[in-house]
Chains A and B, each alone.
Chain A
Amino acid sequence: MTASSPIATTVKTTCPYCGVGCGVLATPQADGSVTIAGDPDHPANFGRLCSKGAALGETLSLDSRLLHPEIDGKRVSWDEALDLVASTFSRVIAEHGPEAVAFYGSGQLLTEDYYVANKLMKGFIGASNIDTNSRLCMASSVAGHKRAFGADTVPGNYEDIELADLVVLVGSNLAWCHPVIYQRLAAAKALRPEMRIVLVDPRRTMTADISDLHLPLGADGDSALFVGLLRALHEAGKVDARFVADHTQDFTGALDIAEDWTVDRVAEATGVAVADIAKFYDWFGATEKVVTIFSQGVNQSASGTDKVNAIINCHLATGRIGRPGLGPFSITGQPNAMGGREVGGLANMLAAHMDFDPVAVDRVGRFWGSNNVATQPGLKAVDLFRAVRSGQIKALWIMATNPVDSMPEADEVREALRTCPFVVVSEMNADTDTVREAHVRLPAAGWGEKDGTVTNSERRITRQRPFLSLPGDAQPDWWIVSQIAQRMGFGAAFSYTGPGEIFAEHAALSAFENDGRRDFNLAGLIGANYETLPPVQWPVREHGTARMFGDGRFFGPNRKSRFVAIIPPPPLAPPPGQLTLNTGRVRDHWHTMTRTGKSSRLGAHIAEPFAEIHPKDATRLGIKRATLVRLENRHGSATVRALITDRQRPGAVFVPMHWTDRFSSNGRVDALVTAKADPFSGQPALKMADIIAAPARVVRYGFAVSRSEIVPGDASYWASARTPDGFRTELAWDEAGDWEARARALFGVPAGTAMLTLRDERSGRMSFALFDGTHLRFALYLSPDPVLVSRQWAVNLLGLPVADVTTRSRVLAGRPGADVPDPGPIVCACHSVGMKTILKAIEGGCSTVEAVGAATKAGTNCGSCRAEIRPLLAKLQPAG
């Protein structure tokens, strides 16, 4: 076999998206494309993939990649860039001390990258100002675990979710945010219909689809719900007195406070009906095998750590932890949030699950061969960027993340970067809202090029393996960090030649002087074959560990766990006239869309930012269906589409976190989030900002499909997404004008070129289009109301050559004639199946999700859309 052999080689790797950590089989093809499939042998997914994972092959193109180092926007050599970064950091440290520099990393970094960055900051620079976007994701779970267990340990595994008789989902929209876990849960429930699922969420998300009970509680009502549950369990005699006595402490303190939390009081505090709360408490009490899954709805709160402990308290009280089919379960949002925790890549950890006690500092110093190890925690994300803004931090290095969009008070963060004397960004993308603010841009390797390990939500370490060569000058993050460390004079400690060497050191540190009091221990992986390392759950002494705490031995004093006395916060209600802003993810997008934004399949489901608003609020505020709404508070503003739905709770709006200035005019919702953080974890409350909402001023709405990206010009709103043959863009203008001239400007059409036009001056509806031969270059539809256009039909036009004049001019109609089928908006991203196709199948007699799948292929690949097909069936079929 030669290097140019066309024989495809399949590489086992791990998905770069959420914390489920699915195994992926990547097979590069002779034509340069890469075939993606789920790894049937990987214990996280057993071959399943969600819509995002399945579309990974569409995200690997080199367009919009950062391929060369840049200083002030000019291409330079690695030497120039590295020298400048190293010398500037060294100079700032010399002049202002080690606290004057900071790193801000990411849950997308591999464990090896993370390890090296943490080692440089805490071991050699000698300060702890390294924090990451994991602070925004699961810091409260870390803090809650440490308070309860004495260590940041996730007790169970995914199999427990399938084995449980009751699964409680708290602040977790599994169907969209962790679709493969949702699929595993749905499949288990299909096999055992007696299995119960309770959804605790202010919104009736798509996950409600498989839930037996939905508790639509108000923002931050979770603590009250679980403190009340502790009381109810005690009242019902469900407390495992023996477990509590032998393996816990401080139960009485927690129970004393809980005594006041009757069901009535919980109902008052959460806004949930008494009967529903009582039902939930009964189910929980009566069911031994309970798994409580919690995610960002719990973590992203000013009382997130307390919520975590309120949940864990109930599992400790009943002794339901560490055994098959039960336990509290934090599901993380990022592919390697867990790996970051393991290496200590957060400002309040030192390394390898060790804190800043003098013994640990000394031990780590000896292991690293440094006498300059940081002795105290550094600044957590919110405070870190405030310190940048105040000038305390003078040199900042951001790795693989986009805080200008994802941090709360994001406009302040942007301002902080603009005032910071020296900002370095190592990134795979050439243009993000954060990259735009960087002085030095360092091209980093991306998924498919990187080589290392990640850890998923069930403590499972899996290799992420390369199957593509490094493009341009791109280098892995560990290499970049090591190069800087060497140039800062720490060469001996950073002479790594590959990630295997780093992993071995990481494993060795975890085992170094580990007497079993430290949960994180990879002793069994020291000297393991890194290249062939199979997925394994830590701790690994001789072999991996499926569950922790089954023996009742925790990591607190006397190997006990601890109850935390939780005082539920008063119910959070927005000031009169305002709404509570909830933020989160959608099914087919990921973070700030730097990767998912490249996929046309993933852009088809939801292609613009939106606000879910309850019909009552919409009526009161005069917000009409599918119009644009302006959200505003003292921190900033956003303009998004109004999605009026009773899935939303009155008084609250939900806006996805994904849209940035790259994809929309004003969709950075984190600009409106108040940077208020949990006192224990420092995790900001990303789901609880007060805002006002009002109809946006619009004189014309527009929708366009085009082969090239548009030039939005004076549009007051735009949101753009990729399609298979170009782009789709929603538009709006708040001032009247010369529409033909605007059309020409949007698509760069010179004045002499005749466009196809349709004008109905009186109604204000207009269409413009242009063909290059038989291929549509663009079509633009304008209307005073939200433009009625079959989006999917228009998107498809870009790929269909048109020869006859009738079909040409019909492009202006914005929808197919009765003689052409309209697929409707895309529901199934994997097979591009539209809503109308699905409805037609249901009308044609398909009565189950499976039958719809057999007829249309919808929902037969990743299954993420099955939760959306089921309501369509219910709507069309009269209840029988």
Chain B
Amino acid sequence: MAEKLVIIGNGMAPGRALEKLFELVPGQFDVTIFNAEPRVNYDRIMLSPVLAGEKSFDDIVIHGDAWYIKHGIMLYKGCKVTAIDRETKTVTAVNGITASYDRLIIATGSVPFIIPVPGKDLAGVLTYRDLDDVNAMMIAARAGGRAVVIGGGLLGLEAAAGLKEQGMDVTVIHVMPWLMERQLDAAGGTYLADALRSRGINVMTSANTKQILGDKRVSGLELADGTIVPADIVVMAVGIRPNAGLAKEAGIIVNRGIVTDATMITSDPSIYALGECAEVDGQVFGLVAPLYDQAGILARQLAGDVEARFAPVATATRLKVTGINVYSAGDFATGDDREDIVLSDESAGVYKRVVLRDDKVIGTVLYGETTDGPWFFDLMKDGRAANDLRDTLIFGESFEDVAELDAYGGRCSIAG
């Protein structure tokens, strides 16, 4: 008799966990999924190209209906779970559907953070989280007009670029001194702002939102310094919070997210948390790479590998805005023990920085020319000594095996 596995949430992380699970122990679990969104598992990372009109929803589907059928999965679409009964090991959804589990995975993801300013509930204040948000933005954009995006991070900038692509006048309001401050240094952020401005996106940094203006519907936004920015829609993209309410109500220990250890098991040994809703050993994660790692660990645990442990590794990020290439990874704070190699070509919009400590790459920020990002990232993850590469390190992989220069002709102007 197969064990009953119930999953709340149908995002990318549980999708990956199932793939792994079916690979490790085919047929061992009888799987039921409750998806609050009325659709299959899709690539949330690719929402920006959808917003920009470069891709359709079909292009970004990860698991189509056939996949669920093939694996005998019961998928409830548009079916939000409202309660978990740990005593009876059942979950109940909005429309009364219940399912009992032997093991339960909570993968409820995150919710956009809404800054608590007056006017936050006005019509036309949107967030950027799922396909419904994208659709809402695309509909709003059809009327043209002005969009203000609050938040100059990855998501906010992708939204801004998409809205611009959809024909809106776009302003990005960012509270920090430069854009993408978690991924970029000041120089990289400045390059980025210049590039956005050159494609017609208005960027305001060190800009603190005081209130959203409007009567029923958004009409503008007022900054702390009194500046008024007119707006027909406002997109909040200032961050996310783990969506842990359901677990909390069920009495599972929740801190910022649903608390688990490195095995992904919550305070209830039958219940796992996975993805953006989980707080693993005190850390919450929002990028896909560590979430996929969590999925792999969880699958192994379910398959009986009780030794499997999640260990976070450095992650790299890429901004998905066509024509603007940004890549960053690792630690690029300045410090006495850090050594920087910096290349800049301001007029061509290229900025590359590699940070070394003890002759090893510990971080990189690439703007404009990001081809070698993954190579730097590999050097970082491998902890490989870079002293032999140092002269040409910043030029990337195609210089790795570059021939030695000659004893004389390479050092002076004598063909000795």
Contact = CB atoms under 8 A, between A and B. Distances in A.
Interface of A: 604-608, 610, 625-626, 641, 643, 645, 703, 719, 721, 728, 730, 754, 756-763, 765, 771, 785-792, 805-806, 808-810, 812-813, 815-819, 822, 824-827, 835-836, 868
B238 to A, nearest CB: 32
Given A719-B413, A721-B413, A805-B349, A817 B398 contact: yes
B415 A606 contact: yes
Nearest to A810: B395
A703 B413 CA distance: 9
A786 B412 contact: yes
> Which A-B residue pairs are the 6 nearest by beta carbons?
A825-B409, A607-B413, A825-B415, A626-B411, A754-B346, A817-B398
Contacts of A760: 339-342, 390
Given A626-B411, A788-B391, A817 B342 contact: no
A626 B405 CA distance: 13
29 contacts: A605-B415, A606-B413, A608-B413, A625-B411, A626-B411, A643-B416, A703-B413, A721-B413, A728-B413, A756-B346, A759-B343, A762-B339, A788-B391, A791-B410, A805-B345, A805-B350, A808-B350, A809-B345, A809-B350, A809-B395, A813-B392, A813-B399, A815-B392, A815-B405, A816-B402, A818-B401, A825-B410, A835-B406, A836-B406
- Which interface residue of B339, B340, B346, B412 has the most chain A CB atoms within 10 A? B412
B117 interface: no
Given A765-B391, A808-B345, 11 more contacts: A607-B414, A756-B344, A757-B343, A788-B411, A809-B348, A809-B369, A813-B392, A815-B392, A822-B403, A825-B406, A825-B415
B402 A763 contact: no
B402 A626 contact: no
Contacts of B410: 788-791, 815, 825
Nearest to A719: B413
Contacts of B395: 809-810, 812-813, 817
A728 B345 CA distance: 22
A835 B415 contact: yes
A771 B350 CA distance: 14
Nearest to B404: A788
Nearest to B415: A825
A818 B395 CA distance: 11
A132 B343 CA distance: 56
B409 A791 contact: yes
A785 B390 CA distance: 14
B414 A610 contact: yes
Contacts of A825: 406, 408-410, 414-415
A641 B414 contact: yes
Contacts of A789: 405, 410
Nearest to B399: A817
A43 B339 CA distance: 66
A826 B415 contact: yes
B371 interface: yes
B352 A809 contact: yes
B66 interface: no
A133 B398 CA distance: 54
- Which interface residue of B352, B406, B413 has the most chain A CB atoms within 10 A? B413
A817 B402 CA distance: 6
Interface in B300-355: 339-350, 352
B131 to A, nearest CB: 34
Nearest to A758: B343
A635 to B, nearest CB: 25
Contact of B403 (A703, A730, A818): A818
A643 B394 contact: no
Contacts of B394: 758
Contacts of B339: 760-762
A662 to B, nearest CB: 16
Interface string B367-405: 011010000000000000000001110110011111101
Contact of B390 (A763, A810, A822): A763
A578 B368 CA distance: 56
B407 interface: yes
A828 to B, nearest CB: 10
A129 B326 CA distance: 76
B320 to A, nearest CB: 19
Contacts of B416: 643, 645
Contact of B341 (A728, A759, A827): A759
A730 B408 CA distance: 13
A586 B151 CA distance: 66
Nearest to A816: B402
Nearest to A770: B347
A813 B392 CA distance: 6
Nearest to A641: B412
Contacts of B401: 818
B412 to A, nearest CB: 5
Contacts of B399: 813, 815, 817-818
Interface in B87-118: none
A812 B342 CA distance: 11
A589 to B, nearest CB: 12
A825 B401 CA distance: 20
Nearest to A647: B416
A721 B412 CA distance: 13
A819 B403 contact: no
B405 A788 contact: yes
B352 to A, nearest CB: 7
A835 B348 CA distance: 34
A751 to B, nearest CB: 13
A516 to B, nearest CB: 52
A824 B406 contact: yes
A759 B342 contact: yes
- Which interface residue of B345, B349, B415 has the most chain A CB atoms within 10 A? B415
B314 to A, nearest CB: 22
A643 B415 CA distance: 10
Contacts of B368: 805
A96 to B, nearest CB: 48
B88 to A, nearest CB: 61
Contacts of A806: 369, 371
A757 to B, nearest CB: 5
B355 to A, nearest CB: 11
Contact of B348 (A625, A730, A792, A808): A808
B388 to A, nearest CB: 13
Contacts of A786: 411-412
A790 B369 contact: no
Contacts of B352: 809
A805 B391 contact: no
A790 B405 contact: yes
Interface string B354-370: 00000000000000110
A440 B292 CA distance: 85
B181 to A, nearest CB: 22
A626 B408 contact: yes
Contacts of A815: 392, 399, 402, 405, 410
Nearest to A759: B342
A788 to B, nearest CB: 5
A757 B353 CA distance: 12
A608 B352 CA distance: 34
A626 B413 CA distance: 9
B344 to A, nearest CB: 5
